[in-house]
Structure 1
Amino acid sequence: MTLQEPGTTADPVPLMGCPYKADPYPLYERMREAGPVHPVLFPSGVQAWLVTGYAAAHAALNDDRLGKNHDRGNDRWRARASIMPEPQHSQLQVHLLHQDPPQHTRMRRFVTEAFTPRRIEELRPRFQELADALVDALPEAGPTDLVPGFAARLPFQVLAEVIGLPEHLATRFDRDWGKVVQPVGPTDPGRPLYEARLHGLQSYIAEVVTHKREHGQDDLLGRLVIARDRSDLSQEELDSMIFQLLVAGQEPVTNQITTALIALFRHPDQLARLRAQPSLLPRAVEELLRYDSAFELTTWRFFDQDDDLHGTAVPAGDSVIVSLCAANRDPRRFDNPDTLDLGRSPNPHLAFGHGIHFCPGAALARAELQIALGTLLTRLSGLHLAIDDGDIEWTPAVLGRGTHHLPVGYDRRL
C-alpha cells in the first residue's frame, strides 16, 4: 500500500473493511512513519486528509485555521458527505461539533455546568445504583451478551439523569436512532430505514421539547428550552444540541466499555492486576482510553482557503480528520505505546480531543467507565470473553470503535 510522503500526492488510503476495523493500528503505524498527513478514502466515497502523529494531531486540534462549520466544505466534500437529507441536515446538524467561535462559545456555555467534575462526583452514588441494578438483572451465571444487558443501557440511563430526561421518555428512546450518524447514501438499499430512523428521532426530540416547555424543570434540557424561548438559541440550535446529547452522549461510552473490556481480556496480566488493585481504576481507565479509544477519528475540519498542513498542500473545503487512535499510539510521545500498562503515568492521551472542542462530557465519561468496569469486575466472578477473539464483530462506524455484541462468561454473579 502506497502512503503519502509530505508534500507529494498519492492514491488515497481506504479506511474501510473488516480487517481495518478489527485492527487499524498497523496501518496507523505505517502512516506515522511515512509522515503526519495522508489522503484517505471513506466508505461514503469522501476523500479526506488524515492527521496521524501525536504532535501533528495536537497542533491540528488547536489550529484556529481549521474550522468545523459545514459551510466551509467544498462541493467535492458536500457531494459525498452531506448524507443527511434536507430539511433535517439544517435542523439537526448545527450542534457544537459543527460550530466555530463565536457561535460555538455562545452555545457551549449552556451545557458546561451540567457536566462539571464536581456535579458528576455528586451524582456518582446514583450512577453506582444504576450499574448495580443492571448487574442484578443479568443471569446468575454466564454466558450473556454484555452490550444489550449492560453496556448499551448504563450510559443512556446515566445520561438521562444528568440532562433531565424523564423516565417515561427515556424508556421509549430507540438505540437504533443513533445510527443516523452512520452514512447511508441516497441509492443505498438501507436508505428507507435510515430515513425512518431519522424521522423517528426528530419526532422524539420534538416531544422532549414539548414536555420540558410544559413542565419547566430546572435541568439541562429545561434550561435549553428556556434559552430557545428567550431567543438565546434558535430552534435549529436547540434541536441539534438535544440531538448531540442523545447520540454523542451515550453511544461512545457504550463502545468504550466494550473496547476496554476486550483490551483487558486480551491482556490477562493487566486484568489480574486491576482485580488485585481496585485503587488503580482511575489510572487504568486513562490507559484504556489511550490504548483503544471509542472515538477513533474526529469529525470534519476545513481550511477556508488553500493552505499548508505539516508540509502537505490541502485545498480549501477539503475535509481534515484527526486520528485520535493513531496519535495515542505514537512512540514519540508514549513509551512502548502498543503495550497496555494500567499504571502508565503521565498519560496525556487525546481520547477526548483537545482545544476548544475538548469533549464537555469527559468527566462524565470517565466516571461511567470507572463505575462500569469496577462493577463488572467486582460482581461477575471470573468474567471472560465467551467467543474466540477472531469472532468479535467490530462495528462498521466510520469514526468510532466498538462492538454491538460482547458475549462473556462468568462463574457467578455476586
Structure 2
Amino acid sequence: MGTPEYRTCPYPVYQSLREQAPVCKLTTRHGVDTYLITRYEDARLALSDPRIGKDMHEGIEIYHAVFGDTCDALDDNLIFADPPRHTRLRHIAHEAFTPRHVKLLRPRIEQLADELLTKCPTDTPVDLMTAFALPLPVMVICELLGIVGDERNDVLKWFGQVTRSRFSKEMGDELAEAEHWLRNYFLGLVARKRAEPADDFLTVLIQTEHEDGALTDDELVSMMWVLLFAGHKTTTYQIGNAVYSLLSHPDQLALVRADRGLLPQAVEELVRFECSVETSTFRYALEDVEIGGVAIPQGSLVQIAISSANRDPEKFAEPDTLDVTRKGLQSTHLGFGHGPHYCLGAPLARMELETALTALLDRFPEMVLATPETGHEEWLKGPFPAFRGLEKLPVALDPSRTVDDWTATASG
C-alpha cells in the first residue's frame, strides 16, 4: 500500500479491501499489529466505540513504537485522550470554538484571502498550494493563537522542522531542539496572555473553568500544538483537493460558478470525495473487540480509512462521482470524523473552505489547471501517511494572459 500508484490513487485498493477484507490486518513499520477498517458502517461504529481508545500513554510501549522518543508534552492533547480527561479537555476547547467566535473570523478570513490572491501573478502559472492554500489556514490559526509579526515566521520555521522530522526515519537532535523551542515559546505566549487577557481564542482557553479544573500550562501548550498542526495541515490540503477536484470536473465547476448557493453543500461533497484526512489518527483496542466479524486483540492498533468509508457504495450512490448537488452529507460523511473525537474545528474549516473557493471564483472565474505536458497524475500524493493532499497545484488564474510554455487545460 506504499507504492507510488497507491499514493496517487488509493481508491481501487480500498474497493478491493471493502469487498474482500473490510477489516484488514496489516504489518507496519512500527512492528505493532494494525487493523485497517474500510467500510462505512464499520468505520462509523469504530469511531464511537468506547472499547477502542486513543490515550496512547496508557499503552506506553505502543506509543513509543508509533511516535518514537518525541516530546510527550506536545502529544499530550485531546486527540490522544479518553474520558474522563478527554471530556474535560473537549469541554474547554468547545467554549473557545463557539459559533460566535468562528463567525467573527469570517471578515478577517475574507480579507486574508483577498490579500493573498492580490499577490498572485496572472501572466504565468502559480502554485496555488504555496501562494494560497498553505498561507491562508496558517494565518488564521496564528491569529487565533495571537502569534503575530516576526514571531510567526519563527514558529513556522520550528514547526516545519518538527513535522518534517516526525514523518521521517531520522528523529534526532534537530527534532528535540525544535520541540523544545516550540514548547518554551508556547509557555511564554500563555504567560503573556495571562498578564494581558483579551477577547480572543487563547484567552478563552486559559480562563475557561471545568468542574475538574482549568487547563494547566502543559495542557495549553499541547492544545496550541494540536491546533497549529491539525488546524492548518488538514485545511491546507483540503483547499488544494477541493480546487483540484473542481478544476478537473468542469461540469461541476460550472454549477458552482452559476449558483454560489451550492457552495455549502459543494464543500461537504468535496470533503467526502477527496478528503485531506485519508486515515484516522491511531487508536488501539482497550480489550478484545470484534468489528465486521474480525477479532481485534487487546493492544492492537486500529485505523479507520476515512477516504474508503466516504466512497462506500453501500452508503453513497455513485461514490466515485463528484456531485456538488448531492444532499444530506453534513451529518453522514466522515471527513470530520464521528463520535466523541469529531473535529472541533469543523465549523472553522468549512468556513475557510467556502471563503477560499468564493474568493477564487470571484476573482478568477476562468482559472484552469496548468500542468506540464507529462500530466498531473503524480500530484495527488499524501505528503504524510495519514493525509492526502497536493504538494503542488499549478493553476493558470487568467488563461488569456498566461504564457504558453505550460499547457492550460480545463479538463485536467
TM-score, normalised to structure 1, is: 0.87
Query: Whole-Å Cα distance in 1 between the matches of residues 78 and 278 of structure 2?
Result: 19
1:406 to 385, 393, 403: 393
Matches within 5 A, 1:149-298: 149-174=131-156, 177-178=159-160, 180-181=162-163, 184=166, 188-189=169-170, 191-226=172-207, 232-298=214-280
C-alpha distance 296-391 of structure 1, shift in aligned 2 (>3 A): closer
Query: Whole-Å Cα distance in 2 between the matches of residues 125 and 183 of structure 1?
Result: 35
Query: Whole-Å Cα distance in 2 between the matches of residues 53 and 174 of structure 1?
Result: 37
Contact 1:50 1:322 in 2 (8 A): yes
The equivalent of 1:8 in structure 2 is none
Residue type of the partner of 2:379?
Answer: I
C-alpha distance 277-227 of structure 1, shift in aligned 2 (>3 A): closer
Residue type of the partner of 2:114?
Answer: D
Query: Whole-Å Cα distance in 2 between the matches of residues 112 and 132 of structure 1?
Result: 29
Tell me the number of residue pairs that the alignment of Structure 1 and Structure 2 aligns.
Answer: 394
The 3-state SS of whatever aligns with 1:386 is strand
Query: Whole-Å Cα distance in 2 between the matches of residues 225 and 120 of structure 1?
Result: 18
1:83 paired with 2:68, answer yes
Query: Whole-Å Cα distance in 2 between the matches of residues 101 and 133 of structure 1?
Result: 42
1:32 to 18, 24, 49: 18
The 3-state SS of whatever aligns with 1:174 is helix
Residue type of the partner of 1:136?
Answer: T
Query: Whole-Å Cα distance in 1 between the matches of residues 107 and 324 of structure 2?
Result: 25
The 3-state SS of whatever aligns with 1:272 is helix
Query: Whole-Å Cα distance in 1 between the matches of residues 151 and 53 of structure 2?
Result: 35
The 3-state SS of whatever aligns with 2:155 is coil
Deviation at 1:227, TM superposition (A): 6.0
Query: Whole-Å Cα distance in 1 between the matches of residues 201 and 100 of structure 2?
Result: 16
Deviation at 1:52, TM superposition (A): 0.7
1:23 paired with 2:23, answer no
1:110 paired with 2:92, answer yes
Deviation at 1:410, TM superposition (A): 2.1
Deviation at 1:176, TM superposition (A): 6.2
Q: Identity over the aligned pairs, expressed in percent?
A: 38
- What residue ranges of structure 1 are gaps of 5+ in the alignment? 1-14
Contact 2:278 2:387 in 1 (8 A): yes
The equivalent of 2:361 in structure 1 is 377
Contact 2:8 2:378 in 1 (8 A): no
Deviation at 1:181, TM superposition (A): 4.9
Query: Whole-Å Cα distance in 2 between the matches of residues 194 and 242 of structure 1?
Result: 18
C-alpha distance 116-175 of structure 1, shift in aligned 2 (>3 A): farther
- What residue ranges of structure 2 are gaps of 5+ in the alignment? 402-412
Structure 1 vs Structure 2 CA RMSD: 2.6
The 3-state SS of whatever aligns with 1:110 is helix
Contact 2:248 2:369 in 1 (8 A): no
The equivalent of 1:396 in structure 2 is 383
Deviation at 1:118, TM superposition (A): 3.9
Deviation at 1:44, TM superposition (A): 4.8
Deviation string 1:223-271 (CA, Å, 9 cap, x unpaired) is 334469x962233322111111111111110010111112112212111
C-alpha distance 267-185 of structure 1, shift in aligned 2 (>3 A): closer
Query: Whole-Å Cα distance in 2 between the matches of residues 176 and 147 of structure 1?
Result: 20
1:53 to 30, 33, 39: 39
Deviation at 1:311, TM superposition (A): 1.6
